[in-house]
Structure 1
Amino acid sequence: MTTTSNSNLYSVMQARKSVRVFDPNFTIAKEEIEEMLKLATIAPSSSNLQSWRFLVIQDAAVKTELKGIANNQAQAEEASVVIAVLGDVDAYKKVEQIYTQNVAEGHMDDSIKDRTIANTHAVYPNVSAEVRMNIASFDAGLVSMQLMLIAKEKGYDTSTMGGFDKVKFAERFDLPENEFPIVLIALGKAAAPAYGSSRLPMDEIVRFI
């Protein structure tokens, strides 16, 4: 099988870089942010429980405060918006809503819905919060990458920030006990080019057996 190197998807993937300097005067409409998030949530998730939650931070004063929580990373303040990707350890509690909607949209029948709901209630409440946090973190990685590619395709730039005080963040934004912060995504227009980055050769990271 061969791939087409000039595919729009590949072009977007190659063009996406982690931007450090954003135009602080550039704004993005709420409706467009919602559209990008809706598209991003097409990403797969464990048992389709969609354990991601999002806190969209646009207010200039709040972003300035966020910069201090994020180890003084300038993009936390200068980006048009910072999207905090959160995990919900109780995401399984929405299983009836999710799978009822699956049936209503014609994706499955009632027998599959009922079996899946029963299995979910048998498993998820009985695993540790740490396991459910790991599941949510994995799902957050999938939705975050999808969001960044969508943003790039629309002409925007992004930067992920994992280095921030998660305890202070949860306290500042009064997160409920079942939610925890995973990553911050700065979103806006680059004011300076991003650095390129190298990748290890395939023979150092891939084994075929």
Structure 2
Amino acid sequence: MSNSQNSEKIEQQLFLDVIRERRSVRSYDPNVQISREEMTEILELATLAPSSSNLQPWRFLVIDTPELKEKLLPIAFNQQQVVEASAVIAVLGDLKSYQKAEEIYGQAVEAGFMPIDTAKSFIERNVDMYSNLPPEETLQIVYTDGGLISMQLMLVARSKGYDTVPMHGYDRAKLFETFGISEQYVPVMIIAIGKAMKPGHPTTTRLPIEDVAFFNEFPSE
């Protein structure tokens, strides 16, 4: 086996280890803090996730001070990981992400990924289409893209030795009211992130793949 093949195999194994070792952790070491620099890097890597027309509708509210985590605690129905974790990340979807189309495609032109005429065409078409979508379609898009980036964020965190748990149990209206989030955004989930005090439960039990995956034809009920 060549050095390049051996290196590739090691990288593949490391990636598989990240996937297999990810757990939903609910008990964190309160003494471990993630620096703003490292948190920024985690979020930057997460934003490499795909999104509809590359409009990147995700927005993050990172809550990492003790005072604000205490404020969040009752909103999250007193789940203790909220105050123990290094931070809690509210993943939000921007219902007007098309407003950043010019900035996004302008960056693509500057990077040499597309000519300016193509970018202008993309901007016009996407702004027109996304600004006129029915609300339920817009919601479906931001929830889908928000789910993609949330999973990527959790895997990036695990690759750096941190643990996470996605949380759907919280008062969405209270979250928005308390932290001054406008109606332009919708909540996707909140994610606690930090260093596990106790390991999460093993997640090896899954339905057999033949019960959930089908080739070429979906079975009738």
Q: Residues 12-161 of structure 1 correspond to what in structure 2 (within 5 A)?
A: 12-161=18-167
**Which whole-Å CA distance do the structure 1 matches of 2:141 and 2:72 have between them?**
26
**Which whole-Å CA distance do the structure 1 matches of 2:67 and 2:196 have between them?**
21
Greater shift in the superposed pair: 96-105 or 125-134: 125-134
Structure 2, unmatched stretches of 5+, are 1-7, 217-221
Residues 56-110 of structure 1, C-alpha deviations (whole Å, 9 max, x = no match): 0011121122121112211111101011101100000110110011000111111
**Which whole-Å CA distance do the structure 2 matches of 1:176 and 1:129 have between them?**
16
**Which whole-Å CA distance do the structure 2 matches of 1:177 and 1:183 have between them?**
16
CA contact (8 A) 1:49 1:92 kept: yes
**Which whole-Å CA distance do the structure 1 matches of 2:14 and 2:114 have between them?**
32
Determine which of 202, 217, 221 is the counterpart of 1:196: 202
**Which whole-Å CA distance do the structure 1 matches of 2:82 and 2:140 have between them?**
25
Determine which of 190, 206, 209 is the counterpart of 2:213: 206
Q: Which of structure 1's runs of 4+ aligned residues deviate more than 4 A?
A: 3-6
CA contact (8 A) 1:88 1:133 kept: no
Q: Aligned-pair distance for 1:134?
A: 1.7
CA contact (8 A) 1:44 1:139 kept: yes
What secondary structure, in the 3-state scheme, does the structure 2 residue paired with 1:98 have?
helix
Give me the CA root mean square deviation: 1.5
- Percent sequence identity is 45
Q: Mark the structure with the bigger radius of gyration.
A: 2
Other-structure match for 2:219: none
Determine which of 5, 13, 22 is the counterpart of 1:7: 13
**Which whole-Å CA distance do the structure 2 matches of 1:173 and 1:137 have between them?**
21
TM-score (norm 2): 0.90
**Which whole-Å CA distance do the structure 2 matches of 1:86 and 1:153 have between them?**
23
Other-structure match for 2:3: none
**Which whole-Å CA distance do the structure 2 matches of 1:175 and 1:99 have between them?**
26
**Which whole-Å CA distance do the structure 2 matches of 1:47 and 1:164 have between them?**
30
Residues 110-129 of structure 1, C-alpha deviations (whole Å, 9 max, x = no match): 12211111111221111123
